[in-house]
Amino acid sequence: MAMVESQRAKWAAERLMRPSPILLSSRSWLRSEYDATSSQHRQIRSTNAMVVQTAFIGAEPEFSATPVSELREISLRDMLAPYRHRGRYLLARVYLPPAKSLSINLYVEDRQGDAILVTVYNYPRLFHTGDEELNLYFPKGQIVLIREPWAKPDGGLAHHFIRIDSPSDLVLLDASEPILRGKKWQTEIEATRRLPTSAEEFRVQGNALFRRELFVPAAMAWSRGLELDPDSFVLQLNRSQAYLKLRWFGAALADAQAVLSHSNLNPEILQKAAFRAASAEYGLGHYETALSHFLSLESCAERTAYILKCQERLQEARGVYSMSGLFEAGQTTQGDIDVADYSSPAIHVGPAPNRRGGRGVFATRDIECGELLVVTKPFASTVYDSPDRNQVIVTNLQTSAVQNSTTLALMHKVTMRLFGCPEENQLISALHSGPSVPEPSIAFPPSGPPPPAPTKPSFRTNVDIHKIEDIVFHNCFTPKRDNPSFIVSVQPAKAQDSLALYAMPSLFNHSCLPNALWVCFGDIMIIRSIERIDRGREITISHSLMSDKKLQDAAIESRLGAKCDCARCASENVTATQNLYSLYQENMQNKLQRMMTGQQPWGSRTEANRYLQKVIRLLPQLNYPNLQLFLAHEDLMQVVEQEAQVRGDASLVIVGIRHGFDALKAAGLSDIDTRATIGARGNVSRNMAHVIPFSKTRVPVEMPVMHLLQIIAHISAAFKTLSQRLLAERWLRGAWWVHETCFGGGQALFDIRMRQALYGMPLPTDVDYSWE
């Protein structure tokens, strides 16, 4: 916390500093700094030394919104610091190889020969990169234009440098650019490689880069070739293919359609352009258009595969999914799962007067429990993959939230997508970005024509990094495989193993007692109703479920700009809840100590019962689900089950079942059939076996759903051991119903997801997957 306050004070002091003439470092000093940094990085790589880096976000970074045509050139010696030079641009040239830390460090000189360090943040495709790729973007001799440069002092105030937060402020220029005509340089630079001089040489260079999967540099090479030969269909189709690999589908379609607009194309070019246009339409989610295009093409294996995929996506877009297939894809695929988005016609975005003028998602008709409401891919997602010996700690200066590099990686992914798909800026800008910003329009998705897709891989729209930071912070989710996830702002750094930004799900408001549940298969988010929702009622999800009430309240208020106002929060005794949490922490510590000594974590029946009684004494007298009471009964159920197995005591099996009933009651299930025997026979027995042994009014998702399922399945297995077949079937069907309501997918998905948890459990067999 002291580090955060120190950094805040530093930024505040810098804003109060009076600008003074810039302090330009000598080339020899810059070279020594470059050599020292490079040597340090080489030593770290060779010795595998531990590196911990600290990054700060939330400092309200600025960006230039002024077109280059309206800016005037400025030289380094005419600059001030700290100061943002509005209305000016700096022409500079890279004279040393670039270096990478948290930023990209460029050592540049201006046209007068003065040199300075430029730190570049948030540049697309370069978050995780090596020296070789970095040199392809910024080779020695590369000319850059810095829009409205921000000069600032370093930590010791002895040297000044230029910081760039928005990648649209850094423009890469070719020597042939009109803005460079008549401009002279005082120094000579020996380029690291000979630059191509013909369209054919650029084609060869681009091909080599493409084979190494360096798709942006490849597209840049082919773009330069097209400037020399605008009629080269080969270069344009090559660039379209690079854009497909980058998932810049609008740009890929623009290139393919530009080729198709020409007449008298030879059959090979025509087929290739049509196939890439169809592939781009598929990537944009225009599945009917894509299918029509693929059907018109000549037969080949790839065409056949795409036709089948189009047909599958069209089914999904109507809400028909193979949930088991989607789940298995989520277990084996790191992002980019091929699936169509779906939003039920039973929901719409509308004004929410009780949300301070904001928006919410509402039911357009009565919605039954377990209905599929949303399936969606993320706008961007990332997985935490930093090795333990290379840690990045990210601190938000606005909220004091401490995170890991996943936050930075997600911001890079969002920026990268906007870099190649500026037409999607409207969608992201329509998301909530904090209480200090006016709420976007109610309409979602936003209406109005998007800007045209770019054809040259460079920024054509301004990138507001401050807004991206805010949107990511206020809308990101942490996908988990089985349970609703926690928001990341209060999680320990290592817990943030993945992070994603979604569009439609971000419009669902939070409640601690939600009527819908979100889960993720991989990074695909699925939202289902978990109770009946009347027409016109708001649909809510839980953005945060934490045992620590204070942390949850802080997280919700920080993320949403207001405290949760649900019925549970309005009536909850915060002191009692915190006392329960302290008791829970103590119990978890005891469990850990037992495990370290080879014991069962829940201890003896006496210890488990003692903990349960402590929880009951502290429990507020409210009619809401309680996680601590649920877990205490679950522990006691497991202790008794184990004791029953060891002793072969049927009476203890019934005691364990009753603790299971108590756990489910604490979870919030109602109308639980607590009978331990049923003597019905014949048709009565068969009919009763299909009746769920508790109310189907609502699934209490305030509890970990996997725990609910395991308790219900344990009760079924216990009845099976007692030869109570009818009860065993009823409770198995109860587990099926809970799972179907939360996840869908039928018995196939239940068997896949629960295989490990239920392994060896004596559940009844030959039971049909149906219930009343």
Q: pLDDT digit string (tens) for 296-311?
A: 998 888 999 999 999 9
- Cis, peptide link before residue 505, omega less than 30° from 0: no
Provide the pairing of β-strand 115-120 with 160-164.
parallel
Q: 549 near 538, Cβ under 8 Å?
A: no
CA gap 146, 92 in Å, rounded: 8
* Residue 333 vs residues 320, 433, 485, 521: alpha-carbon distances, Å: 21, 30, 19, 10
- The type of residue at 313 is R
Of 483, 426, 423, 481, nearest to 705 (Cα)?
A: 483
Residue 488: DSSP 8-state: G
> Which has the higher per-residue pLDDT, 572 or 153?
153
In which residue are the tokens 């890079």 written?
412
- The pLDDT of residue 490 is above 50: no
707-736 exposure pattern, b = at least 16 Cβ within 10 A, e = fewer: bbbbbbbbbbbbbbebebebbbbbbbbbbb
CA gap 293, 315 in Å, rounded: 18
In which residue are the tokens 């100590």 written?
593
In this prediction, residues 84-106 reach a mean pLDDT of 92
Torsions phi, psi for 601 (to 5 deg): -65, -30
Which of 433-437, 479-483, 642-646 has the least mean pLDDT? 479-483
CA gap 728, 735 in Å, rounded: 11
Q: 527 near 347, Cβ under 8 Å?
A: no
Sheet holding 51-57, edge to edge: 51-57, 390-396, 402-404
Within the chain, all domains assigned CATH 2.40.50.140 are found at: 1-180
Per-residue pLDDT at 548 = 64
Q: Is 152 exposed, middle or buried (0-12, 13-18, 19+ CB in 10 A)?
A: middle
Per-residue pLDDT at 660 = 96
Of 633, 661, 625, nearest to 547 (Cα)?
A: 625
Q: Which residues pair with 105 in a beta bridge?
A: 99, 119
- The type of residue at 619 is L
Helix, strand, or coil (residue 611)? helix
Reading the block at residue 87, the tokens are 């209305």
Per-residue pLDDT at 491 = 37
- Integer Rg of the chain from CA: 30
Helix, strand, or coil (residue 557)? helix
- The pLDDT of residue 169 is above 50: yes
In which residue are the tokens 């003065």 written?
114
Q: Is 679 exposed, middle or buried (0-12, 13-18, 19+ CB in 10 A)?
A: exposed
Per-residue pLDDT at 485 = 35
Most confident of 315-324, 404-413, 481-490, 640-649: 315-324
Residues 562-601: tens digit of each pLDDT: 777 777 777 777 777 778 888 888 888 888 888 888 888 8
CA gap 108, 148 in Å, rounded: 16
Per-residue pLDDT at 100 = 83
- CB neighbours of residue 119 within 10 Å: 17
> Chain-centre distance of CA 490, in angstroms?
16
Residues 453-475: tens digit of each pLDDT: 667 766 567 888 889 988 998 89
CA gap 490, 502 in Å, rounded: 20
Per-residue pLDDT at 186 = 92
In this prediction, residues 504-529 reach a mean pLDDT of 94
CA gap 414, 247 in Å, rounded: 12
CA gap 496, 493 in Å, rounded: 6
Of 151, 11, 34, nearest to 85 (Cα)?
A: 151
342-388+404-489+496-570 CATH choice from 3.30.2270.10, 2.170.270.10, 3.40.640.10, 3.50.40.10: 2.170.270.10
> Which has the higher per-residue pLDDT, 236 or 559?
236
CA gap 97, 131 in Å, rounded: 9
1-180 CATH choice from 2.120.10.60, 3.40.50.2300, 3.10.580.10, 2.40.50.140: 2.40.50.140
Per-residue pLDDT at 488 = 32
Q: Is 59 exposed, middle or buried (0-12, 13-18, 19+ CB in 10 A)?
A: middle
Q: 761 near 722, Cβ under 8 Å?
A: no
Within the chain, all domains assigned CATH 1.25.40.10 are found at: 199-317
225-233 long-range Cβ contacts below 8 angstroms, 24+ apart: 225/196, 225/198, 225/199, 225/200, 225/201, 226/199, 227/174, 227/176, 228/198, 228/199, 228/202, 229/199, 232/199, 232/203, 233/259, 233/262, 233/265, 233/269, 233/273
Most confident of 30-44, 339-353, 406-420, 477-491: 339-353
CA gap 14, 23 in Å, rounded: 15
- CB neighbours of residue 54 within 10 Å: 13
Q: Which residues contact 492 (CB under 8 A, 6 or more apart)?
A: none
- The pLDDT of residue 444 is above 60: yes
pLDDT bin (cut points 50, 70, 90) of residue 603 is confident
Q: % helix / strand / coil in the chain, to the nearest 5?
A: 45, 15, 40
Which of 87-91, 489-493, 545-549 has the least mean pLDDT? 489-493
- The pLDDT of residue 409 is above 90: no
- The pLDDT of residue 178 is above 50: yes
pLDDT bin (cut points 50, 70, 90) of residue 489 is very low
CA gap 164, 605 in Å, rounded: 62
CA gap 440, 507 in Å, rounded: 11
Which CATH architecture is the domain 588-755 placed in? Answer: Alpha Horseshoe (1.25)
CA gap 747, 770 in Å, rounded: 10
Pure H helices in 400-548: 405-420, 425-429, 465-475
CATH (residue range 199-317): 1.25.40.10
Q: Which residues pair with 524 in a beta bridge?
A: 521
Torsions phi, psi for 220 (to 5 deg): -65, -40
Q: Which residues pair with 116 in a beta bridge?
A: 108
Helix, strand, or coil (residue 222)? helix
Of 516, 457, 425, 403, nearest to 742 (Cα)?
A: 516
Q: Report the mean per-residue pLDDT for the chain.
A: 86
